[in-house]
């Protein structure tokens, strides 16, 4: 493992807002006057606190009804998984698959990978390239995490066949949206440079 010298060793860091090079002693960026930190302060603690909050909120998001389907005048509450089964039985396989991936794979995967990244950042890794790749994938996948809230919103807006078949959003839609937003903030708080700091510190010892 070779790593070149880091800007922080030369007493330099970059502004989070405008990327101006600033000396580490400065409190404010001379160009845009934003607060300057060499690394996001308490990055791991903040990320983990938000990850735990999102994980707790994920329980009601799964347990509460995501949507109410009114079919021939009979209302039926369905959770996310229940909704996936209803849609699958109706023959809407792509929609069912999209909702399943967006509501189970993406949020659970993102929370798990953020936890693993926090563990790497605090414990250090001999090869930070692996967690860095994980960080990139987490960032990429995260862009699709609102998909199922949109799918439910679209279903609600499109399918209103009166007494025949209607969809109404349930309480879980709100809880799920907060899970997604909190996870987005958690990812934002994670400073990937920490992954390399511990490796560099181990190398310098
Ligand atoms: Zn700036």
Distance 42 CA to ligand 1 centre (A): 21
User: Please, which residues have CB less than 5 A from ligand 1, an ion?
Assistant: 15, 17-18, 20, 29, 31-32, 34
**Residue 171 to residue 176: CA distance in whole angstroms:** 9
Distance 151 CA to ligand 1 centre (A): 38
Q: Same domain, yes or no, for 6 and 83?
A: no
Distance 22 CA to ligand 1 centre (A): 8
135 pLDDT more than 80? yes
Domain span at 75? 40-204
In this predicted structure, what is the pLDDT of residue 155? 64
Q: Same domain, yes or no, for 48 and 111?
A: yes
Q: Same domain, yes or no, for 153 and 88?
A: yes
CATH code of the domain covering residue 58: 1.20.140
Q: Same domain, yes or no, for 22 and 121?
A: no
Q: How many separate domains does the chain show?
A: 2
Distance 26 CA to ligand 1 centre (A): 11
Distance 107 CA to ligand 1 centre (A): 32
Q: Same domain, yes or no, for 145 and 45?
A: yes
48 pLDDT more than 90? yes
Q: Same domain, yes or no, for 58 and 103?
A: yes
Residue among 154, 173, 151, 47 at smallest CA distance from 101? 151
Which of the 8 DSSP states describes residue 27?
Answer: S
50 pLDDT more than 90? yes
14-18, 74-78, 85-89, 104-108: lowest mean pLDDT where?
74-78
The CA-CA-CA angle for residues 5, 121, 43, to 5°, reads 100
**Residue 165 to residue 160: CA distance in whole angstroms:** 6
101 pLDDT more than 90? no
Q: Same domain, yes or no, for 63 and 120?
A: yes
Q: Same domain, yes or no, for 172 and 139?
A: yes
Q: Same domain, yes or no, for 82 and 157?
A: yes
Q: Same domain, yes or no, for 187 and 88?
A: yes
Q: Same domain, yes or no, for 33 and 44?
A: no
- Whole-number mean pLDDT of the chain? 82
In this predicted structure, what is the pLDDT of residue 2? 47
Q: Rounded mean pLDDT of 87-94?
A: 87
The answer for residues whose C-beta is within 8 angstroms of residue 118's C-beta and 6 or more apart is 44, 47, 48, 51, 190
Q: Same domain, yes or no, for 192 and 93?
A: yes
């Amino acid at each position: 493992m070779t790593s070149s010298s880091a800007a922080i060793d030369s007493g330099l860091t970059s502004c989070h807002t405008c990327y101006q090079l600033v000396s580490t002693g400065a409190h404010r960026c001379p160009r845009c006057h934003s607060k300057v930190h060499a690394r996001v302060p308490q990055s791991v603690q903040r990320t983990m606190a938000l990850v735990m909050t999102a994980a707790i909120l994920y329980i009601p998001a799964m347990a509460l009804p995501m949507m109410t389907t009114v079919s021939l005048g009979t209302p039926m509450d369905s959770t996310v998984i229940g909704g996936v089964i209803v849609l699958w039985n109706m023959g809407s396989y792509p929609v069912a698959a999209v909702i399943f991936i967006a509501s189970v794979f993406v949020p659970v995967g993102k929370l798990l990978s953020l936890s693993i990244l926090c563990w790497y950042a605090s414990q250090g890794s001999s090869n930070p390239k692996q967690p860095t790749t994980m960080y990139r994938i987490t960032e990429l996948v995260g862009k699709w995490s609102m998909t199922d809230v949109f799918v439910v919103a679209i279903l609600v807006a499109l399918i209103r066949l009166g007494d025949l078949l209607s969809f109404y959003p349930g309480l879980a839609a709100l809880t799920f949206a907060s899970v997604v937003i909190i996870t987005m903030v958690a990812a934002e708080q994670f400073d990937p440079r920490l992954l390399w700091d511990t490796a560099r510190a181990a190398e310098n010892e």
